[in-house]
Amino acid sequence: MMSANRCVTFMNCSGVRTLRTVGAHISSVDTPPVAGDTVIDLGGARLLPGLINAHDHLQLNTLPPLETARRYNRAHEWILDVDGRRRSDPDFEALIAVSRNDRSLIGGVKNLLSGVTTVAHHDKLYPILSDPGFPTRVVTRSGWSHSLYIDGGDAVRDSYRCTPPDQPWAIHAAEGIDSESAQEFDRLEELGCLGSNTLLVHGIALDAERRQRLDHAGAGLIWCPSSNLTLFGRTAEVQWLAERGRVALGTDSRLSGSRDLLEELRVARQCSGLSEILLESLVTSAGARLLRLADRGALEAGLLADLLVVPGDRPLSQLARTDVRLVVLDGIPRFADEAHAARMAPPEFWSRIEVDGCPRMLESTLARALSAAGCREPGVDIVDLTWRAA
């Protein structure tokens, strides 16, 4: 097993020149390696902080999206359709009967393979999500309520009041295109639930005046454009809020959302005028700030050694998960191409897998869990649980 205090210096990166990690943290940036370091030459590839997915329902990602040509006015209509299908579709019922731990594991793998190292999960914090072996970190210091239409005003207000003010509190809100959806924002204000730690998920129905009130309250918006476009044919207007650092990006689950956060970035780019730099901040620095995660979201000394390596020739919004070269969590590699895997850890650390037809390496404990799960990640095959060099 790798030493908890091992030192690694990444060199020849685009973004920062060098970055040194000691154990689970970044120790310095733009300093030469120290004698005894493992030195990884990135050959001009891009080094980024591990990405932050600000909204997912990890246990729902193996369920098939609802095949419907229907567009909705508000989220509640869609939820009624999904519930109806759960009762009438045997395939859906079989998939949801798979253990929640296995389904959540696939949700974690979906995120890890796209370079995500932190996920804000919108549901109960099942024990598996805090397990150190789970594929990504999951935000644990936070409060949440589903929505006003599911939970009701009293429970929503109680949930907000029970959340310490230094922790984020998230709720699906203004998820629709009608006036009823917009008025959810007003209702949250009346209930005293719009504070600087409030994160509204979706916010499609917010008009300019409500966006100003959100900004004035110091609250944030979690933007999930793929899900919005699928269900409503429209998404939130985010430019003004994003320029103020008030927006983070989330995938939502695959029941309505994108395949992963890289695809979400591509959709976000296509349906907004946000620059690549601003888009990237939504999944790094702005995401960390809104989720009150002061220990990540940037490449700075003292922060967590959660890292992502991707090609240096294209912006994030043009990448797919087959472009991911290396993902590091707590200073330890989890997923890599063969070249980076060989440099980062000995062969016994890895299992050989295939991702969308490309050879890749996955940390072997995780690969074993994946191969034993009662559901699978589409596009991923376990080739060999041990890595035997060809």
**197 and 165 Cβ atoms separated by less than 8 Å:** yes
Q: Which is nearer to Zn ion, 21 or 159 (CB)?
A: 159
Pick the piece of the chain touching Zn ion (CB under 5 A) from 1-9, 229-237, 249-257, 317-325.
249-257
For 74-90, b/e burial (b = at least 16 CB within 10 A) is: bbbebbeebeebeeeee
Nearest to 145 by CA among 169, 164, 129, 166: 169
Per-residue string for binding with Zn ion, 90-129, x by CB under 5 A?
Answer: ----------------------------------------
**118 and 136 Cβ atoms separated by less than 8 Å:** yes
Give start and end residues of each alpha helix (H) in 165-282.
Answer: 179-190, 208-217, 225-232, 239-243, 261-271, 276-282
Pick the piece of the chain touching Zn ion (CB under 5 A) from 19-27, 246-254, 279-287, 307-315.
246-254
Closest approach of Zn ion to the CB of residue 353, in Å: 29
Pick the piece of the chain touching Zn ion (CB under 5 A) from 12-20, 203-211, 247-255, 370-378.
247-255
User: In this chain, which residue has its C-beta nearest to Zn ion?
Assistant: 252
Q: Which is nearer to Zn ion, 252 or 306 (CB)?
A: 252
Angle at 89 between CA 86 and CA 90, to 5 degrees: 105
Q: Which is nearer to Zn ion, 184 or 363 (CB)?
A: 184
Q: How far is CA 291 from CA 146, 275, 327, in A?
A: 17, 22, 21
Q: Which is nearer to Zn ion, 54 or 219 (CB)?
A: 54
Strand, coil or helix: 11: strand
First to last CA, the chain: 23
Beta bridge partners of 221: 200, 247
Pick the piece of the chain touching Zn ion (CB under 5 A) from 3-11, 123-131, 139-147, 245-253.
245-253
Closest approach of Zn ion to the CB of residue 221, in Å: 13
Closest approach of Zn ion to the CB of residue 46, in Å: 30
Q: What contacts 24+ positions apart, CB below 8 Å, involve 66-71?
A: 66/255, 66/256, 71/231, 71/232, 71/233
Per-residue string for binding with Zn ion, 169-188, x by CB under 5 A?
Answer: --------------------
Q: Which is nearer to Zn ion, 252 or 263 (CB)?
A: 252
Does the footprint of Zn ion cover residue 252 (CB under 5 A)?
A: yes
Closest approach of Zn ion to the CB of residue 249, in Å: 13
Q: Which is nearer to Zn ion, 252 or 264 (CB)?
A: 252
Phi-psi region of 302 (alpha: psi -120 to 50; beta: other; left: phi over 0): left
Closest approach of Zn ion to the CB of residue 128, in Å: 19
Q: How far is CA 243 from CA 149, 274, 329, in A?
A: 30, 9, 29
# chain residues binding Zn ion, by CB under 5 A: 1
Closest approach of Zn ion to the CB of residue 82, in Å: 12
Does the footprint of Zn ion cover residue 264 (CB under 5 A)?
A: no
Does the footprint of Zn ion cover residue 363 (CB under 5 A)?
A: no
Q: Which is nearer to Zn ion, 102 or 252 (CB)?
A: 252
Nearest to 45 by CA among 77, 11, 82, 79: 11
Note the residues at the interface with Zn ion (CB under 5 A): 252
